[in-house]
Amino acid sequence: SAVISQKPSRDICQRGTSLTIQCQVDSQVTMMFWYRQQPGQSLTLIATANQGSEATYESGFVIDKFPISRPNLTFSTLTVSNMSPEDSSIYLCSVKGQGAFGTQYFGPGTRLLVL
């Protein structure tokens, strides 16, 4: 299994500012994913981040709002830009285990509150 850490674990931010969330994995992985979980809701995939290529965004999410970096096979960042209260959510980093059809593991999440 993969061990994933995220920083920060939580933050309170003012609207209009940006926050960068870091995700570190204890092993090299090809595919990394960023999810959003709004209060009381399920998880929604924001984008898939593969090393060496641009992130692939899901419908409803754009690079200008959620820029993603993937500099190597163990690390990724997600930035939430120009935040509004609607961005208050838990943001989770995720990786796949062995193979494209294996278990998917999740980090502990970053709880964001935008005032």
Partner 1 sequence: SQQGEEDPQALSIQEGENATMNCSYKTSINNLQWYRQNSGRGLVHLILIRSNEREKHSGRLRVTLDTSKKSSSLLITASRAADTASYFCAVLGYSGSRLTFGEGTQLTVNP
**For residues 24 and 86, is the Cβ–Cβ distance under 8 A?**
no
The answer to the question of residue 42 lying near partner 1 (CB under 8 A) is yes
Vertex 67, ends 4 and 15: CA angle to 5°?
100
The answer to the question of residue 49 lying near partner 1 (CB under 8 A) is no
- CA-CA-CA-CA torsion sign (60, 67, 25, 114): negative
Longest CA span, the chain? 40
Binding to partner 1 in span 65-94, by CB under 8 A: 90, 92, 94
Residue type, 3: V
CB closer to partner 1, 22 vs 81: 22
The answer to the question of residue 48 lying near partner 1 (CB under 8 A) is yes
The answer to the question of residue 113 lying near partner 1 (CB under 8 A) is no
Residues that bind partner 1 (CB under 8 A): 1, 4, 33, 37, 41-45, 48, 58, 90, 92, 94, 100-109, 111
